Amino acid sequence: MDAMHARRVARGPWFPAVVMAGVACLAAGPGCESDAPPPDAGPPEVTVALPVSRVVQEWDEYTGRLQPVESVEIRARVSGYVESVNFEDGQIVDAGDVLFVIDPRPYEALLQSEQANRARAEAELKLAQNDLGRVERAFGQQAASPSELDSATQTVAQREAEVQAAAARVRTAELDLEFTEVRSPITGRVGRNLVDVGNLIAGGTASSPILATVVSLDPIHCYFTVSEQEFLRYARLADSGARPSSRDAANPVQIGLVDEAGFPHRGVMDFVDNRVDNQTGTMQGRAIIENPDLLLTPGLFTKVRLLGTAEYEAVLIPDQAVGTDQSRQFVVVVDDQDNAKYRYVELGPMIDGLRVVRSGLGADESIVIEGLQRIGSGDAVSPDRVEVEAWMRRFDPPESAGASETSAPPGSAGSSEGSGSGSGGR
């Protein structure tokens, strides 16, 4: 009975599949092997490297907006008809260029009238001075009374005041005539003409119409804001001497436009506001940027990098060497006996494609940079030792490849050179 049961089990429904698998393997010859690893495959192979030790500076990234250093609304100082417009919309103008001409003829006539009034006042002054001279001689001969002398003296003083008033009116008329030529007070780019020839305009008041606008372009300002936390961090660094305050030092700034790779434009900090905005909880900072090719245009958004720290010796590792254990980051250190150990680390920003390690790892400790998923803490490993920078070059695009074919190391989340957290600067 037991033998019969054994034969029935051996001929169960899975029996043909086993037999066919064995036949297939025999037919395949000696090369047919199981996919399962052998019982003892040895320590797992991993790629190991020493961290890079380098002097670096950290940069913090923000978003800014360009604004002109000088911006002027052109208004007329005198009233009259617009006689000519002497610029093309959008052209570059120099300080002192005549932009508009208001009909000068009424002001020329007024100037001539005031000049005539001045001449009459001067003649009357001369006559009063002659009269005073005669009264003084007569008074010396006791032929004139003291009251006559006083009257003649006062008449001269009155005539002198009239001459001064006439001269002032002449100067006012000269200024009004000069103001019929509306000039640009700054060098920059003029906007469009807002008043055409033939229009009558009222000048000389705050409500006078705007004729055009002019903005300076070189240099140009970049405004950006920082959070309270970032502002306090910069303040603490300045107090400790690790980084000067932008109130006291022209800390370097780099900016890039939205279509530019990196931060090709250089400048320095030149202003930090005197209070934190209680509506937004931010502090405003400003940089001044050279703009010789006039590419930077007021109103554009920019990427901004502000110096975040002074130079210091940093430990740098590839980002893919970092593992995450819930909310903590760690690396796997390989000791002299090729044993792997977890090490919790505090990380900083990315610089030149490598991650700054603020604490938890020494520059002389080897870490696993590839094969992290195959090992656990305490495992023995078979290390393939490489240099980090040479290993990173494996992921650089070939010279013949286009910019769109740029690749990154596996597991890399991408980086921006020297970027930090936050949003402008103290």
Q: Helix (H, G, I), strand (E, B), or coil: what is residue 317?
A: strand
In tens, the pLDDT along 190-204 reads 999 999 999 999 998
Is the pLDDT reported for residue 8 higher than 80? no
* 398 band by pLDDT with thresholds 50, 70 and 90: low
Q: By percentage, how much of the chain surpasses pLDDT 90?
A: 55
CA distance 319 to 379: 22
In tens, the pLDDT along 332-345 reads 999 888 889 988 99
Q: Per the structure block, which two tokens stand in for 72? A: 């002027």
Q: Out of 70-84, 184-198, 233-247, which region has the weakest mean confidence (pLDDT)?
A: 233-247
Q: Per the structure block, which two tokens stand in for 39? A: 């019982």
* 390 band by pLDDT with thresholds 50, 70 and 90: confident
Is the pLDDT reported for residue 272 higher than 90? yes
Tracing tokens 């055409």 back to the chain, one arrives at 196
Using alpha carbons, list the distances in angstroms from residue 4 to 8, 13, 16, 267, 384: 6, 16, 18, 94, 58
* 145 band by pLDDT with thresholds 50, 70 and 90: confident
Q: Helix (H, G, I), strand (E, B), or coil: what is residue 183?
A: strand
CA distance 225 to 153: 69
For strands 382-387 and 45-50, give the pairing. parallel
